């Protein structure tokens, strides 16, 4: 009698597992990947949202890390990412070594975009945050502003992009 009961319990359990898997409940890897993708999308949007709060803040070359009265390009990206739980080094050249390289055609919101320094051939001299529609936000010129990657200047200076999210 006990053996029959055990066989029935095992049979029902096996059928349940097969049934749940067929319904998609056994595909936790796909569910986890979807959740992770959603979390990354939210973080990308949060970085852009945080960044736009500082539009118009004065540009100051060598601005100290962590202040908000003025930014240079890399203190800005470092600050924005830190506010969103991601640590970056202080300089644009050091930031250009972090994360994963991204092709220009595959840029997503929140990717870091890097540009050469016209005064120092072969060196990274500027960083901004990609915000979709071929635009970036960053500290340059006189203030934090939105610029087009398609402008003749930025197009000519573009070097690479990195994803740190």
Please write down the HEC assignment for all residues of 49-66: HHHHCCCCCEECCCCCCC
CA angle at 110 for the pair 108 and 114, rounded to the nearest 5°: 90
Does residue 77 belong to any structural domain of this protein?
A: yes
CATH number at residue 145: 3.90.1720.10
Within 8 A by CB and 6+ apart from 122, the residues are: 116
Does residue 5 belong to any structural domain of this protein?
A: no
Does residue 7 belong to any structural domain of this protein?
A: no
pTM: 0.79
Q: 3 pLDDT exceeds 80?
A: no
pLDDT single digits (tens) 29-87: 666 766 677 788 899 999 999 999 999 999 999 999 999 999 999 999 999 999 999 99
What distance, in Å, lies between the first and last C-alpha atoms of the chain? Answer: 58
Q: Is the Cα dihedral 25, 27, 29, 33 positive or negative?
A: negative
Number of domains in the chain: 1
* Of 47, 162, 165, 48, the residue nearest 95 (C-alpha): 162
**Residue 157 is part of which domain span?**
12-18+22-163
């Amino acid at each position: 009698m006990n053996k029959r009961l055990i066989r029935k319990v095992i049979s029902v359990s096996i059928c349940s597992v097969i049934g749940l898997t067929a319904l998609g409940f056994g595909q936790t890897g796909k569910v986890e990947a979807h959740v992770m993708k959603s979390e990354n999308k939210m973080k990308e949007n949060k970085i852009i949202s945080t960044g736009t709060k500082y539009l118009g803040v004065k540009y100051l070359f060598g601005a100290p890390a962590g202040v908000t009265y003025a930014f240079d390009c890399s203190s800005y990206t470092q600050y924005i990412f830190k506010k969103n739980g991601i640590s970056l080094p202080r300089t644009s050249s050091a930031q250009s070594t972090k994360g994963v390289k991204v092709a220009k055609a595959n840029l997503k919101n929140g990717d870091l975009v890097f540009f050469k320094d016209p005064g120092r051939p072969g060196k990274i001299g500027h960083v901004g945050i990609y915000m979709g529609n071929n635009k970036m936000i960053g500290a340059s010129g006189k203030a934090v502003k939105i610029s087009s990657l398609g402008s003749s200047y930025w197009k000519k200076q573009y070097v690479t992009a990195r994803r740190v999210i």
